[in-house]
Amino acid sequence: MGILCALLTVFIIVLVVRAVLSWFPIRPGTGLAQLNGILFDLTEWALRPMRSIIPPVGMIDISFMVLLFGLFLLRAFVC
């Protein structure tokens, strides 16, 4: 259970960092652009199915919030 809790925590942190980076303009070719690409690759597999079910509300990606809330519930239940 400890490993699963740690993985859930790390994935939540990666999602939050991806969200924070999305608020800022990132120039291609910089270290932040590379980090943003890595975070995208690590999280998009979980967000893509959510986006196909939950459409965005205006400019707000509700699927991200639903996934994050679900991960917090899962972590609270498992850990």
Please tell me the pTM assigned to this model. 0.86
- CB–CB of 1/74 below 8 Å? no
* pLDDT tens per residue across span 34-73: 999 999 999 999 999 999 999 888 888 899 999 999 999 9
CA nearest neighbour of 51 among 37, 67, 36: 67
CB atoms within 10 A of CB 18: 19
Burial class (CB in 10 A: 0-12, 13-18, 19+), 78: exposed
Instruction: Name, in order, each residue with C-beta under 8 angstroms of 75's C-beta and a sequence gap of 6 or more.
Output: 5, 8, 9, 12
pLDDT computed for residue 56 by the predictor = 85
Reported as a pLDDT band with limits 50, 70 and 90, residue 75 is very high
